[in-house]
A = this chain, B = another copy of it.
Amino acid sequence: MNDPGISSLDNQLIKQIRQWHDARLCREAGVCLVEGQRAITACLLAGWEAQHIFINAGLSYAPSWPADKIRRVSERVAAKISQAHTPSGYLANFRAPTPPPLEAIAGGLVLVGISDPGNLGTLIRCAAAFALKQVVLVGGADPFAHKVIQSTAGTVANIHLYRFEHEDELPMLRNSLPGSSSALAAPCCALVVRDGQHPATFARKPRWLFVGSEANGLSTKVLAGCQEQLTLPMPGQTESLNAAMAGAIACYALFAPPANR
């Protein structure tokens, strides 16, 4: 505990971490920066391997953390490598594992154009909570951005993340996934504000649940590619819920286990 650790901002490792504050560079390097004890623990528990864990000198850490990866840093360095308003004193860089090929049969959550980082992160967290293994992103916020990662509360390590620039590339819409033309492929289900089916009318099975942005919803092209449409019953006659809320409720409605399980 008396090791003062890295105190220079010129340290190569520290400079590298600060460069990774640019989410695009993180993504290109396959590196994920995670801050805070709980989130780091969640990533480790999910099997992610930390390259380094930087801890403000004097702070303790869980015995389950890999001691050989710990790098003590001064308070000044801890503050500079953090992207949080109130730095926790804990920051890890993980190598984000390359996900396996998309599985047509398993389904998952497809998020189209979700540009708010907090909404994107909480939707990923929601997918993890309901045991979806695959989250597919089309455009929107960069999933490697600090606020996205932190909003997942470490659950980003529990799912496989796939990213496409444009909806035209989505293999489950083009039936271009291995197995996707077979009867086993999970159907595509669009969450829409009106005229879709009530959640209770859907049989409980794997699906690709498509959620669009609050501003634009889903495009007619995406809707045309979806075999199913889902609308949440909202008796309040108010404007629709925001994308994160509606997506969370739809995940629950389609994927939560029933009472008798």
Contact = CB atoms under 8 A, between A and B. Distances in A.
Interface of A: 38, 42, 118, 122, 125-126, 128-132, 153-155, 158, 198-201, 232-242, 244-245, 248-249, 252-253, 256-259, 261
Nearest to A253: B252
A215 to B, nearest CB: 11
- Number of this chain's copies in the assembly equals 2
Contacts of A257: 233, 235
25 contacts: A38-B239, A42-B238, A42-B239, A125-B238, A125-B245, A126-B241, A126-B245, A128-B236, A129-B236, A129-B238, A130-B234, A130-B235, A131-B235, A131-B236, A132-B236, A153-B238, A153-B242, A198-B259, A199-B259, A200-B259, A201-B259, A232-B256, A241-B248, A244-B245, A249-B249
A129 B241 contact: yes
Interface centre among A198, A236, A248, A259 (most CB of B within 10 A): A236
A247 to B, nearest CB: 9
Contacts of A200: 258-259
Contacts of A236: 128-132, 155, 158
Contact of A234 (B122, B129, B235, B238): B129
Contact of A241 (B125, B132, B199, B235): B125
Nearest to A155: B238
A249 B238 CA distance: 17
A256 B234 contact: yes
Nearest to A38: B239
A126 B42 CA distance: 29
